[in-house]
Chains A and B, each alone.
Chain A
Amino acid sequence: MKIELTVNGVARILEVEPEERLLDVLRERLHLTGTKEGCGEGECGACTVIMDGKTVNSCMVLAAQADGHAVTTIEGLGNRGSLHPVQKAFLEEGAVQCGFCTPGMVLSAKALLDRSPHPGKEQIAVAMSGNLCRCTGYDKILRAVERAAGEVKE
């Protein structure tokens, strides 16, 4: 079946299988491997992407459901010359260990700050609660989001 979607600002027309997931489209068809698969069942958040401004677990979204929508992956955020404030904060705060959760974490934080530039601790904790990290203990990740909130221009 044919789907049309926008990925990181680029319009794409793709032929996909009915059982294909958005995660597979990103990783296998578009080679956007920054989006990770940790569980394949909506538990870990490693596959988080932003669809029309909201975070989704791309392992739980069928490719067909992404038809007509705009998707942002970690590759759409920044580069070495100009990091997104969330990426910068993660780097500076030391919120990255193995890094497998990092793309999903960064996108969850970005989606939060886009809709709520000055979130409280509680709000941050809730917004990040769908992303598991087995390495850091979360402390520095939460601090990185606070740091980014301080730097994000309105």
Chain B
Amino acid sequence: MNGTVGGTVGGTVGGRVLREDAWGKVLGQAAFPADVRREGQIYAVAVRSPHAHARIRGLKLDEARKAEGVVAVLTSADVPHNGHGVLYRDQPVLVQDHVRMAGDPVVLVGAETLAEARTAAGLVEVDYEVLPGLFDPEEAMKEGVPALHPEIHGSTNIVYHLPVCKGNVAKGWAEAEVTVERDYQTQMLDHAFLQPEAVLAYVDERGHLVVEVATQYAHYDRGEIAHALGLKFNQVRVKTVSVGGAFGGREDISLQIMAALMAWRTLRPVKMENTREESFHSHSKRHPMRMHYKTGATRAGKLTVLEARIVGDAGAYASWSPNILRKAAIHATGPYEIPNVRVDAYAVLTNNPYTGAMRGFGAAQPVLAYESQMDLLARELGLSPMELRLRNICRVGSETATGQVLTGSVGMEECLKAVKSYLGEVSAR
């Protein structure tokens, strides 16, 4: 098969291996979900809420149903179990009455061609009662603020709180001779994988529902599709075709259940393809985090204490937020030994786009805070940032804030020494 190109170069271990799927990709043969088709396929388009928080008072679907080429117009009433989610099933397949973020899907239109489906989707009328939105997680976590998911998460918008405690914080402050206290904030990010979501769903010759999709989590998709449609697991098959980038953004359900629902209802193969704009509305984002950090050290440049409060904006649905804020809490001290620690990490629901997995999974955001604190402390102490770090980094035998004793593979010191010469000017700052 290799034709003009060689295979492995060098030995089995440490050799260079050609990536097998790269062949189909350089030749333009690799099939992404938008590239697969079935005879007789129809197209489905979701009507999404333009409002971040609203009650739905009513739907007018007659015009859409009468439109040229329309095969079916589906609403929440057509979904047997209207919920999905990796940790909590708090996200509706199609919103029944409570819109919690801009982009929430409300109505699904299926038609013979994509153009007809888009035209008919434009004829759907949704009567929204726009509600005041919660866009600030620190507001949303206050007592007495309306809860966004009372039936699943109770009377609070805090879906997760993890305290991490080590040593004795009061003792740490008593020992501290220098203190740096600051607030940090990171922004929301989109993965912007290059291939917008697309799905092909159909009922095969055995009566099984087949869903071809670019996903990071095929077995989860299968369970959620089966659950939402009231099917058995073995009636649903999820086939992962080529995945055009993901970076965490394909760990939740996007179009899978909607396409499956349309196929199951109409018994026609159903294609859904997001535009780039729809893609922004239909997958998670990176958690923006607000981080309040207070760090103490001795004049000799030894860290004695850290107190931190991290608030992650979960957006409208929990997705992976608990796991992500857990990771933020665990990594809050960075690669430094601090004997006395108190960290409180929270994930808070708001009406912002929902946030979930993205490269680093909550470990990336606290870096801004703990490394900035080190630089500011170094300045206070008149030490180079490099020197302060060398006096506090984790080494073999160090204990992390969660009590893990590091028994090996701690490369921090070697790494710092290796980059030192490149950092000449920075270290002297």
Whether B27 is near chain A, meaning CB under 8 Å from some CB there, is yes
Which segment, of A50-58, A73-81, A112-120, faces chain B?
Answer: A73-81
Q: Is the interface of B mostly helix, strand, loop or mixed?
A: loop
CA distance A104 to B1 in the complex (A): 24
Whether A88 is near chain B, meaning CB under 8 Å from some CB there, is yes
CA distance A79 to B29 in the complex (A): 10
Q: Distance in Å from the Cβ of A21 to the closest Cβ of chain B?
A: 12
Q: Which A residue's beta carbon lies closest to that of B193?
A: A134
CA distance A14 to B193 in the complex (A): 33
* Those of A72-93 within 8 Å (CB) of chain B: 73-75, 77-83, 87-88, 90-92
Are B27's CB and A135's CB within 8 A? no
Whether B152 is near chain A, meaning CB under 8 Å from some CB there, is no
Q: Distance in Å from the Cβ of B319 to the closest Cβ of chain A?
A: 21
Are A38's CB and B276's CB within 8 A? yes
B interface residues, tally (CB under 8 Å): 37
Partner of B275, one of A32, A40, A44, A106: A40
Are B28's CB and A73's CB within 8 A? yes
* Those of A121-153 within 8 Å (CB) of chain B: 132-135
Q: Which A residue's beta carbon lies closest to that of B191?
A: A134
Q: Which B residue's beta carbon lies closest to that of A17?
A: B115
Q: Is the interface of A mostly helix, strand, loop or mixed?
A: loop
Are B32's CB and A36's CB within 8 A? yes
Most buried by B among A36, A90, A98: A98
Partner of B28, one of A75, A80, A88: A75
CA distance A39 to B3 in the complex (A): 34
Q: Which B residue's beta carbon lies closest to that of A135?
A: B245
Are B192's CB and A78's CB within 8 A? no
Whether A102 is near chain B, meaning CB under 8 Å from some CB there, is yes
Chain A residues closer than 8 Å to B191, beta-carbon distance: 134
Whether B200 is near chain A, meaning CB under 8 Å from some CB there, is no
Chain A residues closer than 8 Å to B162, beta-carbon distance: none
Partner of A83, one of B4, B29, B245: B4
Are B26's CB and A96's CB within 8 A? yes
Are A88's CB and B34's CB within 8 A? no
Are B26's CB and A80's CB within 8 A? no
Q: Which B residue's beta carbon lies closest to that of A81?
A: B3
Which segment, of B14-22, B321-329, B349-357, B381-389, faces chain A?
Answer: B14-22
> Known contacts A40-B275, A82-B4; is A34 also within 8 Å of B19 by CB?
no
Are B27's CB and A33's CB within 8 A? no
Are A91's CB and B5's CB within 8 A? yes
CA distance A88 to B23 in the complex (A): 9
B interface residue numbers (CB < 8 A to A)? 1, 3-6, 16, 18-19, 21-32, 34-35, 37, 191-196, 242-247, 275-276
Give 10 pairs: A residue, B residue, CB < 8 Å, sorted on A: A33-B35, A37-B196, A44-B194, A80-B27, A94-B19, A99-B26, A99-B30, A106-B26, A133-B194, A134-B245
Excluding A74-B27, A134-B245, 15 further A-B contacts by CB distance (< 8 Å) are: A33-B34, A46-B195, A78-B27, A81-B3, A87-B26, A90-B22, A91-B19, A96-B19, A99-B24, A99-B30, A102-B25, A102-B26, A103-B28, A134-B192, A134-B193
A interface residue numbers (CB < 8 A to B)? 27, 31-41, 44, 46, 73-75, 77-83, 87-88, 90-92, 94, 96-103, 106, 132-135
